[in-house]
Structure 1
Amino acid sequence: MKVKAVNFVIFGTDADFFTPFTDAFLQMPNVVYNQGRIHVSSSIIRLIYKLHMSTQLNRVVKLPFKSIWNGLYYRNEFLDMHNLCFLFFANRYWMCDVNYPAYLKRHYPGCKLVIMFNDVVDKYFERFPSFSIDYVRKNFDLVLTYNKLDEAKYGFQYYPTFWSRIPVNENTKFPESDILYVGAAKDRLGQLLSCYGFFIEHGLKCDFHITGVPQNKQKYADRISYNKPISYNEVLERVQRTKCVLEISQQGALGFTPRTMEAILYNKKLISNNPILIGTKFYNKNYVFYFSQIDDIDIEMIKKIDKVDFGYNGEYSPDKLLKFIEEVL
C-alpha cells in the first residue's frame, strides 16, 4: 500500500537573511510556512498580539496568557489532518514557553514534531531563559542540528545547513574584491581582524561587513563596514563581485554555514578555518583552502584567476531536508 505524502507545517522566520530557503518552502504544495504571524485579518488584533508577545515589553513585565494565541498559528490549511509534521526552527523556541507542542499533539493526534537548530545549541540558553534540553528531547520526535559538535554532545541528529540558489544579477556599483566577509562578530572578531590585517598587508582588496561590534573595538573603521546590516540580495550581489568568500567559524561549531553555502552555490573560492568540507565531494584544494593558522593562508591561491565549479546539484536544498525527515520518521 502506498504511504501518503507528509504535509509539513513549518514555523520559520521572515528574516531577510533566510530568503533562499523561505522562498523555496513557500512554493512547495505540501508546505504551509508560518513566518511568525497569526492568521487573523483584523489589524487591531494583530497589534494586540504584537504588543502581547513583544520581547522588550516582556523583559519589563512578563505578560500572562500567551497561550490564547495558540489556535491562530495554524488554521487547518491542509484538509487531510493525517500525516502532519510540524517543523520548528529553533529561533521559534518561545512557542515552547506556551507549551505549543503539547497543544499540537492534543489537536492533531499522530502528528510528528521536529525542531531544527541552525546555531550552536548552547546559544539558545542565552536567548531563551526557559530553554531546556530535557524539554526538547521529551516533546519533539526528531531533533536536528547543523553542528557536528552538538551531534556528539547532545546526541541530536546531524543534518547539514540547507540552502537554495536564487537568481542574482552582478551589480557593478559594488567594488570588485579579492575577499568577502559578511556576518556577525560573535566570538570571532579577533580572528576576523587578524585576517583582514593579513590580507591588506599582502595587497588584497577586502570587502568586510561585520555586525555586533562595540565602537571601541572597531579596528580599521575607515575600511570595514561595521554594524550596518545589508539586505541578503546585496550580500549575494557582493558575492558575485568577489573572488573568494571568507568563513571563520564561531567557537563550538563544526558545520556548513551560509558563507560556505554561498561559496558552493555561486562557485566562489572559499577560505575557512572550518574543516567540514574536507572529505566531501565539494572539497577541491584548487579553490577550497582550510587553515588553522592565518600565516598558512595561500595568498597566491586567492589572487589566481580560476574557473570555480563545485558541481553542486541541489544536495542541500530545502526539499532534501523534508525528504530526509520523512524517511527518518
Structure 2
Amino acid sequence: MKEISYSKILLVAKNAHLYFFDTLDNIDVISGRRLVHFIKSDLGKHRLARYQLIIFLDSGFKANYPNIIKDFTEAKMILFFWNHLTQKYIDLLHTSREIGVIDSYYSFDPIEAKKYGLYHNSTFYTPCINLPLQIPDYDLFFGGNDKGRTQLAHVILDKCASLDISILLYIINGEKGFKNKGYLPYPKFLEFLINSNGILEIMQENQTGLTLRTMEAIFFKKKLVTTNKAIKHYLFYHPDNIFILGEDSIENLSNFLEKDYHPLEHDKINFFESQNWFDRFLFPEKELLNIEYRDSLLDG
C-alpha cells in the first residue's frame, strides 16, 4: 500500500469510546451504526471519500456495513478479528467472504490466522492513564464477562485463599456491552487494576491470542497470572512477570508475586503501541516486523 497519512484512516468499532480509543488522536474512530449514516448526508459522503484505509473491528461489525459504503469510498477495507474466533465470528467471516467487499482479513491470534487463512497483525494498546504508585489492596484482580470462565475463576479463588493470596473477582454476564447488569466502564476497571499487585487472566476455551489483560500487564508493569500456555513463546515473556497456571507450580505463586517486576526492553512493549499497529497495515515492509513471538508458536 502506498504511504498515506493517519488522518485518512478510519477505525470502526462497536463503540467509539471503547477502552483506550479516546487516546487515538491521529485517526478517526466511529461506531458502525454511525458509519452507515454517513451516506445520508453530503458531509458524511465527503468524509468517506477522503479515507484511504478503513479498519473494521469484529465486535459490533455487521457483514453489510462495507457493502453500504462501498460506492462512496475507494478506501481499502480490512476486517480485523480482535477476539477469539468462536462460532459466532467464524460465521461472520464466512458471510463477509461471501459478500466479497472486504479486501483483507486479519486476526490478532497468529495460530487462528494460520488456521483460517487470514493475515496476522498483533493486538494493540495505548495507555490512557498514568497509574499512581500505591500499596495494593489485593494480590490479583480478575474482571470481565463470564464467557464460561466463572467456575474456573472460583476454583482458582479457593486455591489461592488456601495460600493466603487475595483475589478480587468482578464477573458480569451477557453480551450487551454497557447494557449488561454490572457493566464496568474502563476507567473504573483501571481503578481496580491500580489496587492490585497483578492481573488474573482466564482464557476462553481454545483461545491463545494475546488479550487486553496481557497488554495492561506489560504496559502498566503488573504481574500476570494466566491460563494462556502459548504466552511463553512471546518475546516479552519473563518468568518473573508471568505465571502460567497449569505449568508453573501453584505452590510457587506466592513467591512469584513477591518477586520484583522484571523491567522489559522498550521495543518489546512499544511493538504493541497503537501507532505501530496501524503502521503494519500501512507499510508492507513493516509487516516483516510482525514477529512478536520468539520460537515455535506456529509449529504443528
Per the normalisation by structure 2, the TM-score is 0.78
Instruction: Give 1:298's aligned residue.
Output: 252
Query: Runs ≥4 in structure 1, deviation > 6 angstroms?
Result: none
Superimposed CA distance per residue, residues 197-237 of structure 1 (whole angstroms, 9 cap, x where no aligned partner): 11111111111111118xxxxxxxxxxxx963322112222
Whole-Å separation in 2 of the counterparts to 1:212 and 1:4: 41
1:119 positional shift: 1.3
Whole-angstrom CA distance in 1 between matches of 2:275 and 2:257:
36
Describe how 1:106-255 pairs up with structure 2 within 5 A.
Answer: 106-109=71-74, 111-124=75-88, 131-136=92-97, 138-170=100-132, 176-212=137-173, 228-255=182-209
- Equivalenced residue count is 273
Cα offset, 1:305, TM superposition:
4.3
Q: 1:83, 1:70 → 2: CA distance?
A: 13
Residues 170, 237 of structure 1: 8 Å contact kept: no
1:113 partner letter: M
CA-CA distance at 1:178 after TM superposition: 0.7
Post-superposition shift, 1:125? 5.0
Measured after TM superposition, the shift of residue 131 of structure 1 is: 3.0
Tell me the TM-score normalized by structure 1: 0.72
| TM-superposed deviation, 1:35 | 2.8
In 1, are the aligned partners of 2:224 and 2:243 still within 8 Å (CA)?
yes
Is the Cα–Cα contact under 8 Å of residues 32 and 77 in structure 1 kept in the other structure?
no
CA contact (8 A) 1:10 1:86 kept: yes
Q: Is 1:35 the equivalent of 2:5?
A: no
Q: Which amino acid aligns with 1:325?
A: F
- 1:324 — aligned with what? 280
Query: CA 1:249–1:276 in 2, change beyond 3 Å: closer, same or farther?
Result: same
Distance 2:133 2:254 in 1: 26
Q: Amino acid of the residue matched to residue 8 of structure 1?
A: I
In the other structure, the counterpart of 1:19 is 19
What stretches of structure 2 of length at least 5 have no aligned partner? 175-179, 288-300
| Aligned counterparts of 2:236 and 2:96: Cα–Cα separation in 1 | 36
Q: CA deviation at 1:152?
A: 2.8
Structure 1 residues 320 and 107 mapped into 2: Cα distance closer, same or farther (>3 Å)? same
Mark the CA change 1:87 to 1:230 in structure 2 (over 3 Å): closer, same or farther: same
Match of 1:91 among 56, 59, 65: 59
Q: Which amino acid aligns with 1:258?
A: L
Question: Amino acid of the residue matched to residue 212 of structure 2?
Answer: P
| 1:255-291 residue CA offsets vs partner (Å, 9 max, x unmatched) | 1101111111110111111134313231111121112
| Structure 1 residue identity aligned to 2:278 | L
Aligned residue in 2 for 1:9: 10
Contact kept in structure 1, 2:136 and 2:195, CA below 8 Å: yes
Residues 294-303 or 309-318, more deviating: 294-303
- Which stretches in structure 1 are left out of the alignment for 5+ residues? 40-66, 214-225
Structure 1 residues 266 and 297: alpha-carbon distance in aligned structure 2, compared to 1, 3 A threshold: farther
Q: 1:83 to 1:11 in 2, by over 3 A?
A: closer
Q: Is 139-148 or 285-294 further displaced after alignment?
A: 285-294
Q: CA RMSD in A?
A: 3.1
The residue number in structure 2 matching 1:77 is 47
Distance (Å, rounded) in 2 between the aligned partners of 1:4 and 1:168: 31
Contact 2:240–2:256 (8 Å) recurs in 1? no
